[in-house]
Amino acid sequence: MLSIIARRFAGLLLTLTVMSAAVFVVMEVVPGDPAAIQLGTSARPDTLAALRASMGLDQPALVRYLAWVGGMLHGDFGTSFTYGVPVAGLIAERLAVTLPLAVMAIVLSTLIAIPLGVLAAARHGKAADYGATLFAQLCLAVPNFWIGLLLIVVFAVGLGWFPAGGFPGWSAGIGASLKALLLPALALALPQSAVLARVMRAAVLDVMGEEFVATARAKGLTRRATLWRHVVPNALVPVVTILGLQFSFLIAGAVLVENVFVLPGLGRLAFQALAQRDLLVIRDVVMFLAALVVVVNFLVDMAYLVLDPRLRGRT
């Protein structure tokens, strides 16, 4: 089992290396010189050359690549010209919003999806099943930024239970911060939960046909006990797969939802950096988000080992 984990981890490192090279090459190919963008079109050639030299842009590509990767390994992500601060600090600051948002969205979506999927499967072909399917269809059909707007209209503007947007900062208290994150997390979670609920329903129906379910029932377990003890744990494997695959969509959704709710998160940072052509920030944020997705999928692989002992190999 240790060798399996070690191999997956080696795979993770390899993926990150290839990805960093890909991100670097794409940013090289994209037209635009960070120094020229920073100084504007009217810059004098010698000023430009001096800035390029100070930014290391006159070095060969390989040297710059290694410097970039080496810097990241030391936590040095370079300096943003629009904000005039180190990108590392910028990302860390924004991550303090986006990471809790993503975690909340994942937790909410599983909390909605698993009971919903189990309910639909247990009441297969009955009203509850159709209700759950209808809910899932609705959540899938509506884009998440629009769900965000709807939630703002109802719960912020109408009922006044939640702030319509903005983020008070963690220093303002955990309660207030979580409150500010709840509606955007829900907007992200609903479409996710629709996908997950459908997968969960199909997986539960699949597992219910297995003979070990009959064994559990023959032990005298009630229908419900069988469902939660034997069916659900075995049905989680495909759900975890989808959870991992959907994570990148969750991040993409976060870019939109953070803008709708005016949250100072990574998605909003990426959006602003794009608007201002802050190439260094874009490069680092893209790399960071991509790495996040890879790490999440590594965690999904580890979750498989927990859920399905057959994958652990013989010990």
Among 32, 70, 166, 309, binds another protein (CB under 8 A): 309
Smallest distance from another protein to CB 15, Å: 17
**Structure tokens belonging to residue 169:** 């900062």
What whole-number distance in Å separates Cα of residue 214 and Cα of residue 85? 63
Q: How many CB atoms lie within 10 A of CB 109?
A: 26
Counting contacts by CB under 8 A, is residue 166 touching another protein?
A: no
Counting contacts by CB under 8 A, is residue 228 touching another protein?
A: no
Taking the least distance from each CB to another protein, the nearer of 56 and 233 is 233
**Structure tokens belonging to residue 289:** 């988000």
Residue 201 contacts residue 184 (beta carbons within 8 Å):
no
Smallest distance from another protein to CB 107, Å: 23
Angle between helices 87-122 and 127-141 (to 10 degrees): 150
Taking the least distance from each CB to another protein, the nearer of 28 and 124 is 124
What whole-number distance in Å separates Cα of residue 183 and Cα of residue 148? 7
Smallest distance from another protein to CB 196, Å: 20
**Structure tokens belonging to residue 279:** 């190439």
Residue range at the interface with another protein (CB under 8 A); choices 6-14, 27-35, 134-142, 149-157: 6-14
Outline where the chain has alpha helix (H).
Answer: 2-29, 34-39, 45-55, 61-73, 87-122, 127-141, 144-151, 174-208, 211-218, 223-226, 232-260, 266-275, 279-307
Counting contacts by CB under 8 A, is residue 126 touching another protein?
A: no
What whole-number distance in Å separates Cα of residue 73 and Cα of residue 68? 9
Residues binding another protein: number (CB under 8 A)? 29
Among 74, 127, 220, 275, binds another protein (CB under 8 A): 220
Counting contacts by CB under 8 A, is residue 283 touching another protein?
A: no
Among 10, 61, 103, 154, binds another protein (CB under 8 A): 10
Q: Which residues bind another protein (CB under 8 A)?
A: 3-4, 6-7, 10, 210-212, 214-223, 225, 229-230, 233-234, 307-310, 313-314
